[in-house]
Chains A and B, each alone.
Chain A
Amino acid sequence: QKEVEQDPGPLSVPEGAIVSLNCTYSNSAFQYFMWYRQYSRKGPELLMYTYSSGNKEDGRFTAQVDKSSKYISLFIRDSQPSDSATYLCAMSALGYSSASKIIFGSGTRLSIRP
């Protein structure tokens, strides 16, 4: 079983819809949770970075972490065609002054239809 599970999609939604992306994980030591967006043949771009449980909002993006269920989510409001990309969830058990080995999900391919 992988440490981080993510539905690979593809997920296709109409422009303006609310998108929900999710990951589950098995390592209860994970404390840092991230979402990256990756366009085709480019490097991942950090979208959201959260510590422990709770919600974090940044513009049209909201990240949720539920450590009790080992489940994280990313919501995208008012989705745009430019949001079409692969979304990678990522997490780490360690932080400052330690090896920051980030474990990634396999990514969900998202397509926003105009």
Chain B
Amino acid sequence: DAGVTQSPTHLIKTRGQHVTLRCSPISGHKSVSWYQQVLGQGPQFIFQYYEKEERGRGNFPDRFSARQFPNYSSELNVNALLLGDSALYLCASSFSGETEAFFGQGTRLTVV
């Protein structure tokens, strides 16, 4: 079975631009969470979605938004990019939102 897949794997954007990151969860999993990992730190929680509804939101500005589609895939959108948004963005999949979460390989975003 395929694991969590994320696209694109790498992305370079300019300050002020908008970016959309995509995630497909493990087949049968209905919950997707997004995390930001800055170099040298552990991942930080951004959002969790379950059955297309937002379950939780971390301490991130409103420039960050997300949604989950009927097929349980998800998008993370970031507007008005800042240099500090440069990070590895991770998507985690779980069956029903419990904490046994499985991560994708991430999208490495560089803002210049």
User: Which chain A residues have a beta carbon within 8 Å of chain B's beta carbons?
Assistant: 4, 6, 8, 32, 34, 36, 41-46, 49, 88, 90, 92, 94-107
Contact = CB atoms under 8 A, between A and B. Distances in A.
Contacts of B98: 32, 95-96, 100
Interface size class of B (residues with CB under 8 A): 20 to 34
Nearest to B10: A41
B106 interface: yes
Given A43-B104, A44-B43, A44-B103, A101 B56 contact: yes
Contacts of B99: 32, 34, 49, 92, 94-95, 100, 102
Nearest to B104: A43
Interface stretch (B12-20, B61-69, B70-78, B89-97): B89-97
Given A44-B90, A88-B42, A101-B58, A96 B97 contact: yes
